[in-house]
Amino acid sequence: MIKKAMEEALNEQINAEFLSAYLYLSMSAYFNSLGLAGYANWMRIQHQEELAHATRFFDYLNERGGKVRLTPIGEVQIDFNGVVDVFERTLVHEQIVTGLINRLMDIAMHESDHATKSFLQWFVDEQVEEEANVEQILHNLRLIKGEGQGLLMMDRELQARVFVDPFAGAKA
């Protein structure tokens, strides 16, 4: 049985993951409105990853005997100031998510919840990768000043990204 503090924190994380998915879907729609299908695809994949994360937390909490409490998802931004702005906001968002995951790990350590600590380690590692990926895209966008042929070349490159469920076949 999971302790109350951990249950509450995991429920907050489920909501945060759904909010992230919603934000990335909004960003995908924004890129579609600009005719940038590759950038839209990249954000759509982010959306799918966040849904997978939310589901993983959901399943884990159920497996540990906790009660899942789904709460309303907050409103997300729909208008942006170009491609660079979107990825700057994405980086800030991922840094916030990293803080949330670290908070969960702190609670698990404080509660001596070794099972949850083990479960969370994947997410700690994932956040390092997420931030690095966004930083690399942002670096490249800044090099090309977010415009011109470089923007279109990156759009084609990002179109090739496909969703791979990191938890396919995994048990909570």
Q: 171 falls in which pLDDT band (50, 70, 90)?
A: low
In the chain, the amino acid numbered 41 is N
Place of tokens 């590759």: 38
In the predicted model, what is the mean pLDDT of residues 121-139? 97
SS3 of 14-77: HHHHHHHHHHHHHHHHHHHHCCCHHHHHHHHHHHHHHHHHHHHHHHHHHHCCCCCCCCCCCCCC
CATH superfamily of 4-159: Ferritin, core subunit, four-helix bundle (1.20.1260.10)
Residues 71-85 pLDDT 10s: 999 899 999 999 999
- Where are the chain's structural domains? 4-159
